[in-house]
Amino acid sequence: MATPDAIAAFLLRDVNRAISAHDLIVDGDRVAVGVSGGKDSRTLLDLLVRGVDIPGRYEVVAFHVDGTEVGLPDQTQELIPWFEALDVPYEILPIQVPDDEPLPMGCFRCAWNRRKTLFIAAERRGCNKVALGHHADDAAATALLSLMYKGKLESLAPRRPYFGGVLEMIRPLLLLTEREIRRYARAHAWMMPDEPACPHGQETRRTKVEGFLASLPRRERRQVRANLIRAALASVPGEEEGA
């Protein structure tokens, strides 16, 4: 098996390509990285700590929103030693749930509250960018979901301003496939939770669409994914400002 360093050099080519094409990270940025504990977000943090190719310097701060209160698995025992080994500043954040929020919440509200918690902490720590670990397969699934259930073709934007531009969400992994990220996680032998990240994750429309795309032969899946992303990015992405 290839070493993590060798795979990282390969992955960083596409990460750097995405960053350059969309100006995702520039000199002086302070980037908050949302780390759920899964392979995607851990790959994102690891690659950003290794360093991307930009003229100038940037800083990285890791944030993990602890969702055990709403039924998510506890990842802190695995993540805290890893953050310290990377020598990256980090915070473990309890999820902020409104007092009148019914529990258990649905998937959309859970994700909304976790993102809000992350954004509030990022602004408090002086970050101007929030990096999330969405990849090419996520973008393709989002485009197909939008087409099937909303009747229009939208996908994940490489970058998106929030709160009038006070914060900007970026997705540096958007040109990487899930297969490439999974290979990197295996090379590191990262411990991942056995259960799904969300206890309701197998019940969602997204899971069904992702299963359909994953069922396609690899060559066909690559073509379908590229076509969906290309078509969707030519339209206006369907994400609203705010959190």
In this model, does residue 195 exceed pLDDT 60? no
In this model, does residue 238 exceed pLDDT 60? no
Are 173 and 40 in contact by the 8 Å Cβ rule? The answer is yes
Cα–Cα dist 33/56, whole Å: 19
pLDDT score recorded for residue 131? 98
> Lowest mean pLDDT: which of 92-106, 123-137, 175-189, 193-207?
193-207
pLDDT score recorded for residue 152? 84
pLDDT score recorded for residue 4? 95
The stretch 196-208 carries a mean pLDDT of: 63
Are 151 and 160 in contact by the 8 Å Cβ rule? The answer is no
Cα–Cα dist 209/212, whole Å: 5
In this model, does residue 203 exceed pLDDT 60? no
> Lowest mean pLDDT: which of 51-55, 58-62, 218-222?
218-222
Higher-confidence residue: 4 or 196? 4
In this model, does residue 223 exceed pLDDT 60? yes
The CATH number corresponding to 4-233 among 3.40.50.620, 3.30.70.520, 3.40.50.11750, 2.40.50.100 equals 3.40.50.620
DSSP string over 132-164: ----HHHHHHHHHHHHHHHSS-----SEEEEGG
Distance of CA 1 to the CA centre of its chain: 26
Task: Give the burial string for 35-72 (b: 16+ CB within 10 Å, else e).
Answer: bbbbbbbbbbbbbbeeebebeeebbbbbbbbbbeebeb
Cα–Cα dist 37/79, whole Å: 7
In this model, does residue 47 exceed pLDDT 50? yes
The pLDDT confidence band at residue 104, using thresholds 50, 70 and 90, is low
**Angle, helix 76-86 to helix 39-50, in steps of 10 degrees:** 10
The pLDDT confidence band at residue 197, using thresholds 50, 70 and 90, is low
In this model, does residue 56 exceed pLDDT 90? yes
Higher-confidence residue: 69 or 180? 180
In this model, does residue 91 exceed pLDDT 80? yes
Both tokens of 122, joined, read 């990022």
Residue 62 three-state SS: strand
The pLDDT confidence band at residue 201, using thresholds 50, 70 and 90, is low
The pLDDT confidence band at residue 235, using thresholds 50, 70 and 90, is low
